[in-house]
């Protein structure tokens, strides 16, 4: 089912006509009505003045350092090598595969630097 398209111009014309009818029909009550919104505005301004702006805490990005890790099939990290020693990490994985007959692999590991 399609929704009915709202014609904003027609709605505006209806609102203007209703407002014009209201002004001509009742002038005296309007003066009383004007006093009430002023009080509401004063109360609303007091409420907004009481709010303090909150500052969001800026999260510092942690610096990361890259390593090569040798993992087994259960994703358990067995050995960690420096990033420059990738050949040593691959050799260690090959040695573990040959000795234990289970699969081991090398994967990049990033850890935050603690100062």
Segments making up each domain of the chain, as ranges = 11-45, 64-112
Task: Please give the angle made by the CA atoms of 94, 97 and 99, to the nearest 5 degrees.
Answer: 110
State if pTM tops 0.75.
no
Long-range contact list for 31-39, CB < 8 A, 24+ apart? none
Question: Which distant-in-sequence residues (6+ apart) come within 8 Å of 90 by Cβ?
Answer: 106
**pLDDT score at 1:** 64
In this predicted structure, which of 7-11, 13-17, 41-45, 85-89 has the lowest mean pLDDT? 41-45
Measured CA distances, 7 to 1, 4, 10, 12, 19 (Å): 19, 9, 6, 9, 19
Task: State the Cα–Cα distance between residues 13 and 10, nearest whole angstrom.
Answer: 5
Q: Confidence class of residue 46 from pLDDT cuts 50, 70 and 90?
A: low
């Amino acid at each position: 089912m399609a929704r009915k398209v709202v014609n904003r111009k027609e709605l505006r014309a209806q609102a203007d006509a209703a407002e014009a009818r209201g002004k001509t029909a009742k002038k005296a009550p309007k003066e009383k009505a004007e006093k009430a919104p002023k009080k509401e505005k004063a109360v609303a301004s007091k409420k907004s003045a009481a709010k303090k702006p909150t500052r969001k805490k800026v999260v510092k990005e942690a610096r990361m350092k890259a390593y090569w890790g040798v993992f087994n099939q259960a994703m358990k990290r067995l050995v960690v090598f420096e990033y420059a020693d990738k050949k040593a990490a691959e050799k260690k994985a090959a040695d573990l595969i040959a000795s234990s007959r289970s699969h081991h692999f090398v994967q990049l590991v990033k850890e935050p630097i603690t100062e």
